[in-house]
Amino acid sequence: MLKQMVRWLKRNRPELVATDLEIPFNAFPRKNAETRPREALSRSEMEAILSAARKDIEAIWSTFQAGKTLLSQVDREAIARERDLSRLDLDDLGVMLAVIVEHYGGLVPPQNVTLERGAGRWRLHFASLKHGGNQKLASYLHTLPETLIPYMIAIGAQSYANPEALRELRRDCMSDHLLLDGREVMTWSKGRSNRVQRRSFLRDKSLSVPHLIDQVVEMTALLMPHVPAHDRERLFLVASINGTRAIKLIPDYLMSKHVRLFAQRHGLVDEKGAPLALTLAALRTTGLTLAHETLGHDILKTQILANHATPDTTQRYIDRPIVRKAQERIIGDLQLRFVEAIRSPHDEADDERDADVATVQAEYATAAGFICKDPLAGVGEGQKTGRLCTAWLGCFTCPNAVIPLDPGVLIRLLSTRDALVAARQALAPDRWRLLYAPKLEILEHDILPRFSPELHLAASMEAAPALPVIE
């Protein structure tokens, strides 16, 4: 908030701030280190939520499609010309919908309009009651708050977007993936971050994010002429049937209210049998926690998935007793293997390593993105002929290194560079300068400039792979 205020002052009231005033990117590091972990749902609770959302989405989309079919079966031009409602068969649902679209811009007229004395619109009021009421009629034509929420839940659960960022999604948030056929990239902005957030999705299932966003775009199209200019780029537009009849981006309070009503309507309960306290914020936390488990509890891979700047932020999302136990188990297994390796006879260890050579995929001998001409040649410093090279980061100066100029290699090189830069903050300065500064200099000044701007652009659209921790 402070940064936003300072930026506003520099832009709008420059005389009030110093011209050279700058605020560090992270002015208060680890300020949230002691914050309580965010609440997350269990896997079974999440599955129940998505099952309920799927059920609602299928019914909502079916109703909207039925409305389109009914409108296509009537003469809308003739209905648009007719001013005498008594000459129209309002008992026909298609005719009734056409009257709403052609005479009222697609918005169901409120009761004070249909029952206005002397206006002759009372037939609309009683026809509306016969067809299920204003809310039912509106569901054939456009989105309502309660029909948007299942879509927001399904999209939020798959994208891991923050609630406010999800609410403010743009109508053009989906674009074709530059490199992979059949995949589309969803982009959005997060208030506290200057970086654009991205996730790619397959368009292969009815509940896939690209399909869901297409449906919301279509169901909100009728509202566009009525929406204020500042909301017309937004995706989640609603028209309220009760109260003020406002047509705009769904407000946050209304979003929270209908998320609670969604849980109540479907009778969702937690693992203790109590009513489920569902929030959109819990979807991000839960999704990242479950993804962390799927990714083998790799914090760096989860960080990439979450679009977080540092692993510390990711850790606060996934810090759960069950996750801590899994991490302790992994550390214990690694410690056990380390102790066994020390206690075992040297010759047996050599035999095991020799036996492993035959099964190793030599093309992946380096994590930096290179291809080695012969990773068993033993030409690297401290390596032996016939054994797989273990010189992590040694490839930058290795004579066997071959660097293909393709996006996949560039993505890994950029991740390596970021890891080396991050290590500068974590390691002792002398140690970093001795071991890693030369490699970073070679990478930045000799290797990365070989890749074209087009390859850099393609690489920036992809999620970076997780690399082994530098130390």
Closest CA to 463 of 318, 330, 291: 291
SS3 247: strand
Residue 296: inside a domain: no
What DSSP character marks residue 33? T
Residue with tokens 């991740």: 415
Specify the range with the lowest mean pLDDT, choosing from 271-275, 360-364, 438-442.
360-364
What DSSP character marks residue 270? -
Residue 136: inside a domain: no
Q: What digits encode the pLDDT tens for the residues 203-258? A: 877 789 999 999 999 999 999 999 999 999 999 999 887 766 789 999 999 999 99
The pLDDT value recorded for residue 23 is 72
Residue 419: inside a domain: no
Cβ(404)–Cβ(422) below 8 Å = no
Residue 260: inside a domain: yes
Q: What digits encode the pLDDT tens for the residues 48-75? A: 999 999 999 999 999 999 999 999 999 9
Q: How many domains does the chain have?
A: 1
Q: What is the mean pLDDT of residues 447-470?
A: 76
Closest CA to 122 of 132, 135, 109: 109
Give 403's contacts (C-beta < 8 A, 6+ positions apart): 369, 370, 371, 409, 447, 450
Domain of residue 241 covers 143-281
Closest CA to 150 of 58, 242, 39, 66: 58
| Residue 467 pLDDT > 70 | no
Sort 212 into a burial class: Cβ within 10 Å, 0-12 / 13-18 / 19+: buried
Q: Which two tokens stand for residue 372?
A: 């080695």
Residue 359: band (very low, low, confident or very high) from pLDDT cuts 50, 70, 90: very low
The pLDDT value recorded for residue 357 is 42
Rounded to 10 degrees, the C-alpha dihedral 105/111/113/116 comes to 160
The pLDDT value recorded for residue 353 is 46
Residue 216: inside a domain: yes
Residues in a beta bridge with 248: 238
Residue 184: inside a domain: yes
- Rounded Cα–Cα distance for residues 290 and 49 (Å): 14
Residue 241: inside a domain: yes
Strand 401-402 with 196-202, pairing: unpaired
Closest CA to 466 of 331, 299, 330, 319: 299
- Rounded Cα–Cα distance for residues 409 and 447 (Å): 11
| Residue 95 pLDDT > 80 | yes
Cβ(292)–Cβ(330) below 8 Å = no
The pLDDT value recorded for residue 365 is 45
The pLDDT value recorded for residue 361 is 47
The pLDDT value recorded for residue 28 is 66
| Residue 383 pLDDT > 80 | no
Residue 68: inside a domain: no
Residue with the larger pLDDT of the pair 36 and 334: 334
Give the number of other CB atoms < 10 A from CB of residue 15: 6
- Rounded Cα–Cα distance for residues 325 and 319 (Å): 10
Q: What digits encode the pLDDT tens for the residues 124-161? A: 889 889 999 999 999 999 999 999 999 999 999 998 88
Closest CA to 152 of 164, 140, 141: 164
Number of H helices, E strands in the chain: 20, 7
Give 188's contacts (C-beta < 8 A, 6+ positions apart): 159, 161, 165, 166, 168, 169, 170, 173, 196, 197
Residues in a beta bridge with 163: none
| Residue 371 pLDDT > 70 | no
